Structure 1
Amino acid sequence: MLTIDVFTSDYKPIAATAPGWDTGAPATWPASTATLVHGRREAVLVDALITVEEARRLTGFVRATGKTLTTVYVTHGHADHFLGLPVVLEAFPEAEAVALPEVVPHAEGQLTAPVLAYWESLFPGALPPCPVVPRALDEDVIHLEGHELRPVRVGQSDTDPSSVLHVPDLDAVVGGDVAYNGIHMWLAQTDSRARERWLGALDTLAALRPARLVTGHQPPGADEGDAAGIIDASRRYLTDFEAAVRAGGSAADVVRAMNAAHGGRGNPYTLHVSAAAQYARTG
């Protein structure tokens, strides 16, 4: 018998902001999840967050289950999903951090000096001092007490390559940034072609027919039981954003259009950066 428990790190302030942001409003990083899939004795953790403080709270969350952590699966190479690894692995030295082979080089790229400097500008003094990278998985399955947890390649999400973890025995999909639940989607690193591929990734996710969907970014207490609704809402967000960009105008016009259609989502700073990036790219 498997169980899923979700640790959610709430919205957290960032120290540096993009040009044009109204500094009278707080700029935050979106609420993020790390998910424990566990059996009677052992557990697998999906993603490991970014700051020392939240990774320490995550280790306490894992310890409270009384289970032996065997594996940390990193869904994709964005640093906010794996920089917390040193803290987790120090607490659970027998655990191993893994990712799909194609994800590992992207994670390594996040540890270059310029990229780490970016993350440090957002969270000064809060990052683990000795970051580590997950090793490449030897096979396309993670074993947990006789159950199979299956990494699923989706290609494009808010970055490419990306994946999710399918837990067939629970009709659940865990982690990754393919679908977002109640939070503005990070589109700053996408163009029209990437967003089209992202829609295909959502189709891959929908084809798994999960009853439960835990997304990498969702607010505390989010409803995970309407997986089809979460996927459909993510599709609408992508298509609405694409329509707003194609309509021309400015980043502010995109923000206004998206707030009109999706203003109930959390972390408006994400929308600001995503909209601004479309115009920085085109001129």
Structure 2
Amino acid sequence: MMNRRDFVQTAAAASIATGLAGCAAAVTGHSRLQWQHFPADDKGFFRAPVLLSGDQEAVLIDGGFSLPDGRAVAEAIKASGKQLTTIYVSQSDPDYYFSLGPIKAAFPAARVIAASDTIAAIRANVQKKIDTWAPQLKENGPQKLADIVFPEAYDGPALMLEGHRIEIVKAQGLENRRYLWVPSLNAVFGGVLVFSGLHVWTADTPTPASRAAWVRNLEAIAARKPAVVVPGHLGAPGALDVSAVNYTREYLLAFEQELAKAANGDALIAAMNKRYPDAGLAAALQIGAKVAKAEMKWG
């Protein structure tokens, strides 16, 4: 059984780009809400955690992959002068929680929470993930189970930040997939459902039915008509609006079309590279194509 270790050369120090200030909204009777995202490069799987900030407090949506990523986010939050109250983990992949150690250390009072099924999925494979990545990340990643920050269970429908509602939307027809919807910002923080400028990670949706469900969820996101969309995985330069949702949807539909025509995984890879010659995260296509053609097992 293959995993990302076999496809991605992970450097010892994964870097993270400076967080970019995002949109803000003033709502009568509430504080001013702002967002900031922290896009990583290919060494961090292009992850883009998001910080939501009110006048005094802040909520972090997801972590990243490496401990340097986590330290960079922690320093940015400290520099903002805001008190981090909550870290919400939307997905069980290690690039959504490996970096949380330095953040939790900097803000020990912050609650780290996730849905029950996300926690179950993390616990089911966390040791395997550590065994895979610890030798490559070395001091830049968790080395043992005690280094992992495990979330507490939270299955509520929303978080609140200084009067602003942050809705937790469970993907329909897909296990362990969620995104965040913030009405006062007219913003979607898409987690693992939304990619931009990259090959889309399809290995965890190996069947046509699961990919069709993904497409339906993307259409539901687009129907909200969000002004802002921050993909969970963001290439550079990447869109921060609904075009990222459309990109992911179109990629999945193209993948299905080429899958039906391709004789094998290599042919599917070639066809998708022809359609998306500039897309990053090549490992997503290399693995996803082999899984879709039943040439490789994943998970």
The Cα of 1:138 is off from its aligned counterpart by 5.1
Instruction: Report the secondary structure of 1:110's partner residue.
Output: helix
> Aligned partners of 1:181 and 1:205: how far apart in 2?
15
> Aligned partners of 1:48 and 1:223: how far apart in 2?
20
Do residues 6 (structure 1) and 23 (structure 2) align?
no
The Cα of 1:269 is off from its aligned counterpart by 2.4
Do residues 270 (structure 1) and 284 (structure 2) align?
yes
Instruction: Report the secondary structure of 1:209's partner residue.
Output: coil
User: Where do 5+ consecutive residues of structure 2 fail to align?
Assistant: 1-31
> Aligned partners of 1:110 and 1:71: how far apart in 2?
24
Distance 1:207 1:122, change over 3 A: farther
Corresponding residue number in structure 1 for 2:271? 257
Contact 2:58 2:86 in 1 (8 A): yes
Do residues 117 (structure 1) and 124 (structure 2) align?
no
Q: In the comparison of the two structures, how many residue pairs are matched?
A: 262
Give aligned-pair identity as a percent: 28
User: How do residues 159-174 of structure 1 correspond to structure 2 at under 5 angstroms?
Assistant: 160-174=175-189
Contact 2:67 2:100 in 1 (8 A): no
One-letter code of the match for 1:5? Q
Distance 1:190 1:231, change over 3 A: same
> Aligned partners of 1:155 and 1:281: how far apart in 2?
28
Instruction: Report the secondary structure of 2:195's partner residue.
Output: coil
Distance 1:246 1:143, change over 3 A: same
Instruction: Report the secondary structure of 2:60's partner residue.
Output: strand
Distance 1:32 1:60, change over 3 A: same
One-letter code of the match for 1:195? R
> Residue by residue, what CA displacement relative to the aligned partner does 1:199-258 show, whole Å, maximum 9, x if unpaired?
122123223321100011102453313x1x222221111111112222131212111111
One-letter code of the match for 1:116? I
Contact 2:33 2:53 in 1 (8 A): yes
Do residues 204 (structure 1) and 235 (structure 2) align?
no
The Cα of 1:41 is off from its aligned counterpart by 0.5
Corresponding residue number in structure 1 for 2:258? 244
Compute the RMSD of aligned alpha carbons: 1.9
Do residues 143 (structure 1) and 160 (structure 2) align?
yes
> Aligned partners of 1:41 and 1:246: how far apart in 2?
53
Corresponding residue number in structure 2 for 1:77? 92
User: How do residues 83-98 of structure 1 correspond to structure 2 at under 5 angstroms?
Assistant: 83-98=98-113
The Cα of 1:171 is off from its aligned counterpart by 0.1
Corresponding residue number in structure 2 for 1:44? 59
> Aligned partners of 1:43 and 1:282: how far apart in 2?
42
One-letter code of the match for 1:254? L
> Residue by residue, what CA displacement relative to the aligned partner does 1:19-70 show, whole Å, maximum 9, x if unpaired?
xxxxxxxxxx531111101011100001111211111111112111111000
> Aligned partners of 2:296 and 2:61: how far apart in 1?
36
Distance 1:241 1:123, change over 3 A: farther
The Cα of 1:161 is off from its aligned counterpart by 1.3
Corresponding residue number in structure 2 for 1:16? none
Distance 1:99 1:126, change over 3 A: same
Contact 2:197 2:237 in 1 (8 A): no
Distance 1:65 1:131, change over 3 A: same
Corresponding residue number in structure 1 for 2:293? 279
State TM-score, norm by structure 2. 0.82
> Aligned partners of 1:172 and 1:165: how far apart in 2?
8
The Cα of 1:121 is off from its aligned counterpart by 5.4
Match for residue 122 of structure 2 among 107, 110, 115: 107
